[in-house]
Amino acid sequence: MYTFHISPQISFITENALTYVMSEAPCPIESSKKAIKAEGSRTIQKINMNGYFFEGPYELDDELPAEAGVCLVCTESGYGIKVMSIEDTTDISDCIAKNKRRDCWKRTAEKDFVDIYFALMPKKEDRAKAASTVRDRRKYKLACEE
């Protein structure tokens, strides 16, 4: 078993050719261990970010769901994933495709990697709480937020 600590909130655990994502944050879902699944040549996984599960990474031009949710627009960094902006939206696909921050994401991204993680959340108040919680727990200023 190998453990890769990405940040105080996120770590990846590899065991018997399966990778799991663990978090020290409290998790409202039955288990904080989530198996990954393959999507093309990439690995799509669930990450626990401050108690909320986000699926990804997807690329900017990937087909995303036209459903309500919270998106984390991220890039790679020296210690793992760095969130550049958090989007609370009623249509994930439209929000990412037409977002005014796209140029900032591309300009700020490490090695041109812009990764999208999303959590489907139909209720506006749930989205607002998740976005606020994740935003408030970052120890750095989000590069592409006003």
76, with CB counted inside 10 A (0-12, 13-18, 19+), is middle
pLDDT, position 28: 35
SS3 9: coil
Arithmetic mean of pLDDT, 90-108: 96
More confident residue, 15 or 137: 137
More confident residue, 28 or 96: 96
Domain residue ranges of the chain, discontinuous segments joined by +: 2-136
Mean pLDDT is lowest, of 13-22, 76-85, 133-142, for: 13-22
User: What Å distances lie between residue 62 and 43, 46, 48, 103, CA to CA?
Assistant: 14, 17, 22, 17
The answer to whether residue 11 scores a pLDDT higher than 60 is no
Percent of the chain residues topping a pLDDT of 70: 71
Which residue from 36, 47, 45 is spatially nearest to 9, judged by alpha carbons? 47
pLDDT, position 110: 87
Arithmetic mean of pLDDT, 88-94: 97
Location of structure tokens 């959590």: 119
- Give me the helices (H) in the chain, please: 92-97, 102-108, 124-136
